[in-house]
Chains A and B, each alone.
Chain A
């Protein structure tokens, strides 16, 4: 039958049945001629067609499941998304700003001021509980009342002030599990059978060694935070550095929502330098023979080293976060229970008055003025698909200038906070003599200039500290392509004032209208909304003013430069606003710069003028 023509294009039941009948007509004309449905032989033809249909369905399905665009089964989509660099989520935590209060005694030092001896520190991961749903939230950073910055101080009584700080919290609980590892095994697997797992906080073995999560086992280094000795002057709490971590693991969510961990393969306690292939050990494990002439090294060698991390040999205790979900979006004024136990709250300045200490501990309360938001279930099938496609496109590499800007702005706040960033081709390197932190040699023709600014403690623009730039350089290095160079430089900020004259409609109170106008301009010039190299469009200001009820017309808008040679109150860089004005637009300088109304309460001034003919 080798010469018989067999159709390989059949896919459906009817295709197979028709072709099997044609096949019988062609090649068995003397054995089978009744092709009616009632013939018992038709049943066998239909059974064979059914098998063909099922087989072609599975062939189609298997092909379909190998393509990210078409895969339907969650398990396959998860595998494909991990392959392309996207890490799906099984739950999203709600986030909320929580106000934390404590009272503090007054002390008289040239006037009543808070006695920071009694200021508390509330550790990160402090548990807050929802009054209505009993959902747990944890704070994601410590609340340090000893630091007066970003603290709202009000009178509580004749002897106490009330301090308020705001901290972010997420809907999560900390859980832990101990995974037993009695014998070292290559690529050991362990599963955390919990639901709504958000992330792993830490993994420590019985010897106290910390195990680090990495995106893939071949990645041997992770970012490490080192306390910055100059944190108080820099405003940068930690220095970022790379650390080589032989004890590492990867984690993957399975289709049932559980989290699977995979550890390394290195079974040797020896340092890699003694095991990695070298002329002495490279042939270890090879059976002598002719193959050694052409294949003179043991390909398994890396698997016995720490190349893919170490295999655990003792129990590992894992702390992880669970939570999130839609129900975690609690309403406002709901997070009113805070854990005030000594393990979470302490007095760093060690006051001695026990009664006052107890009173202050009792006074610590929390509240969320706004509802929590962002909590929801895990990624749906289509979300996994689209997010994986996006991750594949970006590959976590910085390619475009927008990539670099996003990466800079996503620097973890522990390493300092970038307020504004602007990236351009390295065209101005010869024109500027500002301090530069470069990722590689500055004179690279492919280099980019990244201009940055930071916020001070009062959210005013300031020049970024060198420590912050170094942290940023280290951080960006992992996303930078080999051929790119990034010069991190200071952008300029130009402080301005706004003076305006308006005519108001009859029947409106002058003060009310002016107050509303100033308030609108404060919003307009809110520094959060401004970017480096953004021009001021005068007509936009006029339009903003004209939207205020009672404003009949805008007579004058004047932008003035605010400059201070010392650089303590305003920017030390002056700017000729008049020369920079072209057709109603005030352009920033060629050197990347940003306009800032530094003190909106005083720098924005308005006047009501009478209508004159």
Chain B
């Protein structure tokens, strides 16, 4: 007898009318605080929040954050990409164990002084893949 195909679902996703949390950015159509109704959307906001937070910014939680913004004032060299990837990997594993990181693509534009980071990841429970891009200028 063939094993039936199953799909794992986060229990929070079972009821579509129950909000999960608060999304980023705080400027949605219904006011500063916009609710998310799926763990996928919430995870995206959470990952952005983690990447945009530097260590020491959160009250009573000084280790929280990816500390990437601090790298903006470092010189752009061949080690920068690996440093950013190391920071993202270690902090995501620490603070967001519910996702599995995929490719991390870093684009640097020296003339325009910005770094663009694209992260591919997958939710461990449901296996849903997603991608975010964060720009640091």
Closest to A39 in B: B21
Residues of B within 8 A of A39 (CB): 21-22, 42, 45-46, 49
Q: Tell me the number of A-to-B contacts counted with CB atoms below 8 Å.
A: 68
* Interface membership of chain B positions 4-48, coded 1 if the CB is closer than 8 angstroms to chain A and 0 otherwise: 000000001000011111111010000001010001001001110
With contacts A13-B59, A31-B35, A46-B58 taken as known, whether A37 is within 8 angstroms of B21 at the C-beta atoms is no
- Let me know if A30 and B18 touch, CB within 8 A: yes
With contacts A34-B46, A50-B59, A50-B60 taken as known, whether A40 is within 8 angstroms of B18 at the C-beta atoms is no
- Let me know if B19 and A32 touch, CB within 8 A: yes
Q: Shortest beta-carbon distance, A10 to chain B, in Å?
A: 14
Interface residue count on the B side (C-beta < 8 Å) = 26
Residues of B within 8 A of A47 (CB): 59
Residues of A within 8 A of B121 (CB): none
Give Cα A351–Cα B60 distance, bound, in whole angstroms: 85
With contacts A39-B42, A39-B46, A40-B49 taken as known, whether A34 is within 8 angstroms of B58 at the C-beta atoms is no
Give Cα A17–Cα B12 distance, bound, in whole angstroms: 22
Q: Does A354 contact B (CB under 8 A)?
A: no
Q: Shortest beta-carbon distance, A47 to chain B, in Å?
A: 7
Give Cα A333–Cα B58 distance, bound, in whole angstroms: 65
Q: Does B137 contact A (CB under 8 A)?
A: no
- Let me know if A36 and B35 touch, CB within 8 A: no
Give Cα A61–Cα B113 distance, bound, in whole angstroms: 49
Residues of B within 8 A of A400 (CB): none
Residues of B within 8 A of A29 (CB): 18
Q: Shortest beta-carbon distance, B62 to chain A, in Å?
A: 12
Closest to B49 in A: A40
* CB-CB contacts below 8 Å: B41-71 with A: 42, 45-47, 49-50, 58-61, 64
Q: Does B80 contact A (CB under 8 A)?
A: no
Residues of A within 8 A of B47 (CB): 38
- Let me know if B17 and A30 touch, CB within 8 A: yes
- Let me know if B64 and A34 touch, CB within 8 A: no
Residues of A within 8 A of B58 (CB): 37, 43, 46
Residue from B18, B35, B45, B95 within 8 A of A37 (CB atoms): B95
Q: Does A292 contact B (CB under 8 A)?
A: no
* CB-CB contacts below 8 Å: A109-147 with B: none
Residues of A within 8 A of B61 (CB): 37, 46
Q: Does A296 contact B (CB under 8 A)?
A: no
Given contacts A33-B21, A36-B96, A39-B46, list 4 more A-B pairs with CB under 8 A: A13-B59, A39-B49, A40-B26, A46-B60
List residues of chain B with CB under 8 Å of any chain A CB. 12, 17-24, 26, 33, 35, 39, 42, 45-47, 49-50, 58-61, 64, 95-96
List residues of chain A with CB under 8 Å of any chain B CB. 13-14, 17, 29-34, 36-41, 43-44, 46-47, 49-50
